[in-house]
């Protein structure tokens, strides 16, 4: 190839990749092939740019891989790569060559067989159980065989392949899916573009396979260790779904079972899959706090390295068993808000989940809940500590402090606390001069003056105030109703009560907002207070609007000032510092 896109020594094409590696493996439980028409159309456009000589090369991004340990049973040189990122591109190029083989075989079987030898199959040798140049993940192997059955058919190359002793991966996964569908799309494209004249059709197919194997380039990043993957995988996306930590973890867990499909499938189905599915799509966020609990100095870029170090010498079952005790505590603070065996702890966890707690507190809360499950601390201790944590977080949110810096506080806090008491928790916060726990005056001032109606904390405050009023406690999440409307029409009754400056200062105060159901809120809009008051009393499922309507016959600047003071006193009492 005469011209690369980059000046990297690691830029290469599909042909070069197969020259460096005898076999390319997709991790056995990697996600299935997911490229569809959109990605194929983009690839075909790249190929056309080269065929039409608009471009000499088209760049396809980065392939990330590391060398697999050599199997002792295989005779001769055998270098195998494990793909960390790039399986969609590798599989697409591979089946593209297969499609060219199927199309060119009726024209020239020897040429088709040469393509198989060069790009698709390894020569037979002792100890080589699978001799395809690419070995897909378990989820795609049945489809992979279906495509190969087309090549190994009497009308294509069955007799010619007999001497090569085709050894395919055992079938697994669905027989119908995106991989087979994509292959048929490629076939249709090649047949549609091929000329009726056999010589011209052959030339088209030769040109196409030359572009696919030699003129589509990528940077091949060779990892010395798979643990380096997390340092780069987030930045290595190209027309596909990025590799996640959960994919890397799954690959690491099952790497030792790549040659034992039956055992790997059994552990995957009965141990790993239930474990991963229990996260309900949130597994990606579990591993960092899990690592921090083991070593609070772990950085996100070192996450996978830490996992590998902690699992050294463990079997797949032992790795999963090691994580299992912290799965429940993670789910409790991340989404369920439920602690088995304790209504009081669950009540506080549910509030923290609704509060949209920062992820930085996860290691602290998970360690606390694990200690409770191990009976190392009492229910009262957990309740007191969660109340103190909520007070700290809510007060900061009320005054508008960002969660910046909290990671450093909470990542190792549980082990740093000499005693697991509220006083020790407060002491740990106090010794960090850059972390503020707002006092009563700060909270009062924020409630009375800050535009909390626009703050993220607003919905939480409205629900908690409504619940403290001992009302009906509706299960629905409320919408935020501005009693004084957000826009001030000059011809409205509101314009007679508020100046433009007063409207600007007061419309988003906490005192001016109440929780309402979405239908009632939408129907009120900028109605005058006389209308709103009547409908609050008759139609609101929330206690707060009914209470406001009964206490204030009119709604003007003084009403908002009065209610602001009431809410300020409630907030400093509700999230007291003297717990």
Residue at a domain's end among 235, 255, 290: 235
Residue 6 belongs to some domain of the structure: no
Residues 485 and 461 in one domain: yes
Q: What does pTM read for this prediction?
A: 0.75
Residues 423 and 381 in one domain: yes
Residues 269 and 283 in one domain: yes
Residues 215 and 283 in one domain: no
Residue 4 belongs to some domain of the structure: no
Provide the 3-class DSSP secondary structure of residue 227: helix
Domain of 76, in residue numbers = 11-235
Provide the 3-class DSSP secondary structure of residue 221: strand
Half-sphere exposure for 291 (CA within 13 Å, toward CB): 21
Residues 431 and 446 in one domain: no
Residue 2 belongs to some domain of the structure: no
Residue 96 belongs to some domain of the structure: yes
Residues 292 and 178 in one domain: no
Query: To 5 degrees, how large is the angle CA 288–CA 292–CA 298?
Result: 85
Residue at a domain's end among 215, 235, 255: 235
Residues 287 and 427 in one domain: yes
Separation in Å, CA 538 to CA 298, 453, 471:
56, 24, 14
Residues 126 and 106 in one domain: yes
Residue 102 belongs to some domain of the structure: yes
Place of tokens 């403290």: 468
Residues 6+ apart with CB under 8 A from 48: none
The C-alpha atoms of residue 337 and residue 428 are separated, in whole angstroms, by 25
Residues 330 and 225 in one domain: no
The C-alpha atoms of residue 484 and residue 488 are separated, in whole angstroms, by 9
Residue 1 belongs to some domain of the structure: no
Residue 240 belongs to some domain of the structure: no
Q: How many domains does the chain have?
A: 3
The C-alpha atoms of residue 19 and residue 12 are separated, in whole angstroms, by 10
Residue at a domain's end among 235, 254, 288: 235
Burial of 560 (0-12, 13-18, 19+ CB in 10 A): buried
Residues 361 and 481 in one domain: no
Residues 36 and 148 in one domain: yes
Residue 209 belongs to some domain of the structure: yes
Over its length of 579 residues, how does the chain's per-residue pLDDT go in tens digits?
A: 446 666 566 789 999 999 889 999 998 888 899 999 999 999 999 999 888 887 888 988 888 888 876 665 666 678 888 888 889 999 999 999 999 999 999 999 999 999 999 999 998 888 788 999 999 999 999 999 999 999 999 999 999 998 888 999 999 999 999 999 999 999 999 999 887 788 899 999 999 999 999 999 988 888 765 555 545 554 444 444 456 788 888 888 887 787 788 898 899 999 999 999 999 999 999 999 999 999 999 888 778 888 888 898 899 999 999 999 999 999 999 999 999 999 999 999 999 999 999 999 999 999 999 999 999 999 999 999 999 999 999 999 999 998 888 999 999 999 999 999 999 999 999 999 889 999 999 999 999 999 999 999 999 999 999 999 876 677 778 999 999 999 998 888 999 999 999 999 999 999 999 999 999 999 998 899 999 999 999 999 999 999 999 999 999 999 999 999 999 999 999 999 876
Residues 207 and 101 in one domain: yes
């Amino acid at each position: 190839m005469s011209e690369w896109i980059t000046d990297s020594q690691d830029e290469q094409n599909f042909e070069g990749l197969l020259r460096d590696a005898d076999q390319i493996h997709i991790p056995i439980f990697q996600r299935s092939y997911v490229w569809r028409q959109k990605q194929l159309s983009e690839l075909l456009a790249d190929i056309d740019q080269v065929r039409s000589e608009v471009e000499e090369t088209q760049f396809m991004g980065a392939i990330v891989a590391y060398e697999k340990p050599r199997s002792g049973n295989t005779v001769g040189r055998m270098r195998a790569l494990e793909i960390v990122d790039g399986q969609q591109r590798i599989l697409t190029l591979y089946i593209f060559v297969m499609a060219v083989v199927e199309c060119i075989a009726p024209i020239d079987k020897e040429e088709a067989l040469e393509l198989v030898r060069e790009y698709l199959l390894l020569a037979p040798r002792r100890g080589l159980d699978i001799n395809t140049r690419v070995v897909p993940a378990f989820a795609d192997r049945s489809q992979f065989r279906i495509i190969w059955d087309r090549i190994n058919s009497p009308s294509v190359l069955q007799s010619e392949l007999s001497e090569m002793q085709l050894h395919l991966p055992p079938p697994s996964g669905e027989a119908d899916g995106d991989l087979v569908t994509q292959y048929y799309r490629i076939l249709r494209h090649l047949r549609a573009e091929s000329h009726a004249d056999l010589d011209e059709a052959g030339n088209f197919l030769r040109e196409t396979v030359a572009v696919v194997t030699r003129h589509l380039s990528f940077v091949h990043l060779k990892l010395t260790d798979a643990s380096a993957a997390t340092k780069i995988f987030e930045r290595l996306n190209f027309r596909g779904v990025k590799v996640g930590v959960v994919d890397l973890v799954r690959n690491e867990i099952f790497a030792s079972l790549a040659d034992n499909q039956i055992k790997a499938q059994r552990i995957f189905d009965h141990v790993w899959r239930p474990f991963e599915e229990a996260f309900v799509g949130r597994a990606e966020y579990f591993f960092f706090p899990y690592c921090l609990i083991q070593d609070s100095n772990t950085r996100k870029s070192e996450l996978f390295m830490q996992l590998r170090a902690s699992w050294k010498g463990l079997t797949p079952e032992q790795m999963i068993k090691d994580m299992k005790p912290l799965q429940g505590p993670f789910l409790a603070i991340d989404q369920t808000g439920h602690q088995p065996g304790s209504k009081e702890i669950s009540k506080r966890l549910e509030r923290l989940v609704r509060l949209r707690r920062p992820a930085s507190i996860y290691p602290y809360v998970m360690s606390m809940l694990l200690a409770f499950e191990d009976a190392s601390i009492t229910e009262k201790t957990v309740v007191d500590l969660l109340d103190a944590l909520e007070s700290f977080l809510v007060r900061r949110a009320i005054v508008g402090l960002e969660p910046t810096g909290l990671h450093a506080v909470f990542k190792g806090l549980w082990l740093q606390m000499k005693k697991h008491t509220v006083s020790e928790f407060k002491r740990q916060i106090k010794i960090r001069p850059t972390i503020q726990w707002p006092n009563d005056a700060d909270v009062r001032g924020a409630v009375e003056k800050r535009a909390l109606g626009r703050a993220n904390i607003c919905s939480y405050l409205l629900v908690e105030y409504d619940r403290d009023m001992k009302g009906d406690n509706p299960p629905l999440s409320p919408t935020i109703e501005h009693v004084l409307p957000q826009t001030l029409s000059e011809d409205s009754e509101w314009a007679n009560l508020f100046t433009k400056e007063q409207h600007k200062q007061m419309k988003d105060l906490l005192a001016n907002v109440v929780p309402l159901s979405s239908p009632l809120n939408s129907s009120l809009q900028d109605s005058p207070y006389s209308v709103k008051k009547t409908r609050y009393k008759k139609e609101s499922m929330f206690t707060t609007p009914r209470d406001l309507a009964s206490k204030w016959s009119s709604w003007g600047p003084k009403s908002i000032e009065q209610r602001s003071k009431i809410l300020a006193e409630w907030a400093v009492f509700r999230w007291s510092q003297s717990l």
